[in-house]
Structure 1
Amino acid sequence: MYLMYPLFLFSVLPSHTCGNPGLIPKGVIQGSRYNIGDKIRYSCVMGYVLEGHAVLTCIVTPGSGASWDFPAPFCRAEGSCGGTLRGTTGTISSPHFPSEYENNADCTWSILAEPGDTIALVFTDFQLEDRYDFLEISGTEVPSIW
């Protein structure tokens, strides 16, 4: 006597949720659904400015199922050094350039680009004070620090 077992084929379906993108320091998040097509909106508490995309959308991504279309933004204090660049060109400089900037300046700049775009940085004047200053460039690959 032979017993026949049914043959079951299975596959792992891609995720249809992006998951909670998380709170940001000094930030507020609106929206509590994280499935494909859902949107969430970030804002900052008074005295802080949002840097990055305010609205994130959960989209279908090849291979991994679903992910947010942009990284979570951040909130920076009003009047602080830094900002966000959008578009095809822009300029980043330290406060009061070409004069010296204050001690302990902490500047964070975000450069927003569409997925697949290349960002090129061209330095025309660059000087750091040894043991005190540094430049960190981070993105989709491992950060570089000079």
Structure 2
Amino acid sequence: MFAQRTAWSAEFLPSHTCGTPGLIPNGVIHGLRYNMGDKIRYSCESGFVLEGHSILTCIVSAGSGAQWDFPSPFCRAEGACGGTLRGTAGSITSPGYPAEYDNNLDCTWSILSEPGDTIALVFNDFLLEDKYDFLEISGTDAPSIW
């Protein structure tokens, strides 16, 4: 009898999946594939507005494996305080400015920029009610609260 031996080896390839980007409250995700090059799209239920990028792409990042190119967006109630600024300039005001704003508002603004860009905030008219109101600015550094 003749016995034949076959040489073989196994190679484990790095994962090229971003995994599920997650559901968002009052939102809908379109797309079921989460591998490198795949795209998913978010939309919001009636009465809500999408804030952030509606389309995310699974990309390969050096040293990090696969990841989504932008954070998941969120759905904001229509007419709610807050929003998203894109582009090279913009303006943020409180609801009804220059009149006083209502109590118990929770306004969240997102400022989207390209990697490496600098964001400068210039306050022209700014007044908070002591002990009740605050401003929090967060990003890549630790948040600052005034």
TM norm. shorter chain > 0.5: yes
- The answer for the alignment partner of 1:97 in structure 2 is 97
| Structure 1, gaps ≥5 residues long | 1-7
| Structure number with bigger Rg | 2
Number of aligned residues = 137
- The answer for the alignment partner of 1:140 in structure 2 is 140
Cα distance 1:92–1:14, how it changes in 2: closer, same or farther (>3 A)? farther
Contact 1:48–1:78 under 8 Å retained in 2: yes
| Deviation of the 1:140 alpha carbon | 2.5
What is the TM-score with the length of structure 1 in the denominator?
0.87
| Deviation of the 1:137 alpha carbon | 1.3
User: What is the CA–CA distance in structure 2 between the aligned matches of 1:133 and 1:14, rounded to whole Å?
Assistant: 48
The answer to which of 42-51 and 125-134 deviates more is: 125-134
What is the TM-score with the length of structure 2 in the denominator?
0.87
1:45 aligns with 2:45: yes
1:59 aligns with 2:59: yes
The letter for the 2-side match of 1:38 is D
| Structure 2, gaps ≥5 residues long | 1-8
Give the 5 Å matches for 1:1-146.
14-146=14-146
Report the secondary structure of 1:59's partner residue: strand
User: What is the CA–CA distance in structure 2 between the aligned matches of 1:144 and 1:21, rounded to whole Å?
Assistant: 28
Which consecutive aligned stretches of 4+ in structure 1 deviate over 6 angstroms post-superposition?
A: none
User: What is the CA–CA distance in structure 1 between the aligned matches of 2:142 and 2:24, rounded to whole Å?
Assistant: 22
